[in-house]
Structure 1
Amino acid sequence: MSLIGEERKDYILNQLNLEGKVKTNELVESLGVSSESIRRYLEELEEENKLKRVYGGAVKINLSREEPSQLKREVLYAEEKRIIGRAAATLVEDNDVIFIDDGTTTLHMIDYLLNKKNITVLTNSVPALYLLIDYKNKELFSGDIFFIGGKVSSVQSRVTGSLAEKMLENFYADKAFISIDGIMIDKGITGFDEERGQLAQKMMEHAKHIIVATDHSKIGLVQFYKMADLKDVDIIVSDVPAPKEWEEYLVKKDVTWVAAT
C-alpha cells in the first residue's frame, strides 16, 4: 500500500471517530477515488479489526450493546488505561477532595495517588475501595476514604441506585473523575447503564471540575445513556490526541484534551 493509500485509510478511521459510520459514496467524493478503491480500503481495515463493513459503507466496531463485566473490562486496553490513569492522577493536588467512579480506567489512578498529601477520595467502586484500604493499611496512602453506599452490582463490582445518589447529595468535591463508554462531539459522553450514568451525573453536578478518562476505543461511539454534553466537561484524558475535526469545538467550549504518554 502506498503512503497515499495509508493516508486515505487514516482519513476513513478519522471519519469513523467523528461520525461512528462512513458511507462509500461520500468517501468516493471526498477522497476522489473509485468505489472499488474504497471497498478495498474498507476490506483491509476490517481485516485489521478496525471497523465493520455494512451495506453502503462501514461502522465503528461496537463489540456489544451490553456492558462487559468488571473483570472483562479490566483486561481491555489495560496498558492504555494505566497510562491514562497515571496522567489523570497528575491532575490531583494536595488537599483535594475527589470523586472516582467505578471505571476500570479511573481505577488505575489510585496507584499514582500515593504521594499526594491530605486528599479525600469518594468512590462507588468496590475494587477501588479495596485498593485504597490496602494502601492505607500499608501506610502508603494517608488520605481519607468514603465509600458511596447503595445497591451493589456483583457483576460490575460497583454501587448505584437511589440510595447512592441520596448519599452523594451530602458531598461536594474539587474534581470528579469519570469513565465513559462512548464519546462523540454531537452526542456527548455516554454509558451503557442508566443507573451508573445517573450517579456519574450527580458526581459531576457536585464537583468543581469534571475530568473524563477514556481510551481511544470509546471515541466515535454512542451508548444507551447520555451523561453529559461534551461542552460540560473540563478535561478529557485519553491515550490519543483529539480528532482534528474536534479541535476547534474543544477550544471554543474551553475543553482541554490531554493525550497521555
Structure 2
Amino acid sequence: MSLIGEERKEYILNQIHSEGKVITNELVEVLQVSSETVRRYLEELEETNKLKRVYGGAVKINRSREEPSHLNREVLHADEKRKIGKAAAALAGDNEVIFIDDGSTTLQLIEHLLDKQNLTILTNSIPALDALIDYKNRELYCGEIFFIGGKVSSLQSRVAGTLAEKMVEQFYADKAFISIDGIMIDKGITSFDEKRGQLARKMMEHARMNIVVTDHSKIGMVQFYKMANLQEIDVIVSGVPAPEDWEDELEQIRVEWIVSE
C-alpha cells in the first residue's frame, strides 16, 4: 500500500472508528512502513485527540467516559480473555476461598475451576453466579457458592454498593481475582464506576493474595476511580507482556506479571 502520510493517518482513523482499535504490528504490515513511523502517526493523532495510544497500538477515545454494558464487554477481545481466564484459574488451589470480581475477563475463570476440590467462591457477578449454579446442578462443580448481595445494576449484570461491601467484610479469602478498566504504572488500577471499584477494593483488603486480570486494551489507560496502587497487587495476568518501561518498577514492588498462552 503506497500512501502519503495524511492518507495513512486517515486509514488509521477509519480502522479506529470501525474496529475500535488498531495494532501497531498490523499497521506496519498493511501500510508497509516501519514501527517507528506508525508510532509517530499514532502520537500525532493522539495530540489532536483522535485516538488514545495504548500498549501495542491505539484505541478509540471513550468520550462519554461511560462503561460499556456487560454484553458489549463480553464480546471485546473474547479470545484473549479466555486465555487469560485459563491462566488465572491455574493460580487457584484446592480447599481455597476466592473472590471473583465482576467482569468479562474474570468470568472466563469459571469453567477452568471445575477440577478444583472443595473450592468456595464468592462473587458479585450475576453471569458468574448463573454459570456456577448451572455447573453445580450438572454436578460439574462440587464447591460452595456465595453470592454477594446488594443493589443490582441490570446494565452491568452485577451487584455493588454499601450492602455488598458490608457482606464482603464478613469473609476472608485466600485470593481475590479482580477485573479492571485501566492500569498505569504510576496511577495503579482504575475503574469506570466508583461503587464497583470500592467493592473490588474491599475484596482485595480481605484476601491474602490479589490477582488482577486484564486484556491488552486496559494497559496504559486510566479511568475515573482509583481502586489500588500496584504495590497492593501480587500478580497481574494479561494476554501481553508488561510494557518494557514498567519492568524495573514491577520488579522493585514485587508484582509478578504472567502472560497467558
Q: Does 1:255 align with 2:252?
A: no
Which deviations, in whole Å up to 9, do the C-alpha atoms of 1:171-218 show, x marking residues without a partner?
010000000000000000000000000000000000000000000100
- Which stretches in structure 2 are left out of the alignment for 5+ residues? 2-33, 54-58
Amino acid at match of 1:207: A
Q: Which of 6, 27, 41 is matched with 2:38 structurally?
A: 41
Which deviations, in whole Å up to 9, do the C-alpha atoms of 1:64-99 show, x marking residues without a partner?
211000000000000000000000000000001000
Distance apart, 1:55 and its partner CA? 3.5
- In the other structure, the counterpart of 1:87 is 87
Whole-angstrom CA distance in 2 between matches of 1:111 and 1:236: 20
Distance apart, 1:128 and its partner CA? 0.2
- In the other structure, the counterpart of 2:26 is none
Q: Does 1:245 align with 2:245?
A: yes
- In the other structure, the counterpart of 1:228 is 228
% identity of equivalent residues = 64
Distance apart, 1:63 and its partner CA? 3.7
Q: Tell me how large the CA RMSD over aligned residues is.
A: 2.2
Whole-angstrom CA distance in 1 between matches of 2:134 and 2:50: 50
The 5 Å alignment of 1:1-261 reads: 41-42=38-39, 45=42, 52-55=45-48, 59-60=52-53, 61-64=59-62, 65-261=65-261
SS in 2 for 1:141: coil
Distance apart, 1:56 and its partner CA? 9.6
- Which stretches in structure 1 are left out of the alignment for 5+ residues? 2-36
Give the alignment's TM-score, normalised by structure 2. Answer: 0.80
Whole-angstrom CA distance in 1 between matches of 2:225 and 2:129: 25
Change beyond 3 A, Cα 1:176–1:39: closer
Which deviations, in whole Å up to 9, do the C-alpha atoms of 1:214-260 show, x marking residues without a partner?
00100000000000001110000000011111111111111000001
Q: Which moved more, 1:207-216 or 1:244-253?
A: 244-253
Amino acid at match of 2:214: T
Q: Contact 2:51 / 2:60 at 8 angstroms: preserved in 1?
A: no
Distance apart, 1:41 and its partner CA? 3.1
Q: Contact 1:184 / 1:219 at 8 angstroms: preserved in 2?
A: yes
Change beyond 3 A, Cα 1:153–1:183: same
Q: Which moved more, 1:52-61 or 1:207-216?
A: 52-61
Q: Contact 2:51 / 2:61 at 8 angstroms: preserved in 1?
A: no
Amino acid at match of 1:82: R
Distance apart, 1:44 and its partner CA? 5.4
Count of paired positions: 222
Which deviations, in whole Å up to 9, do the C-alpha atoms of 1:80-134 show, x marking residues without a partner?
0000000000000000100001111000000100100000000000000000000
Amino acid at match of 1:209: M
Which deviations, in whole Å up to 9, do the C-alpha atoms of 1:137-165 show, x marking residues without a partner?
00000000000000000000000000000
Q: Contact 2:50 / 2:61 at 8 angstroms: preserved in 1?
A: no
Whole-angstrom CA distance in 2 between matches of 1:260 and 1:198: 27
Give the alignment's TM-score, normalised by structure 1. Answer: 0.80
Whole-angstrom CA distance in 1 between matches of 2:126 and 2:220: 29
Q: Contact 1:168 / 1:202 at 8 angstroms: preserved in 2?
A: yes
- In the other structure, the counterpart of 1:21 is none
SS in 2 for 1:156: coil
Whole-angstrom CA distance in 1 between matches of 2:234 and 2:139: 32
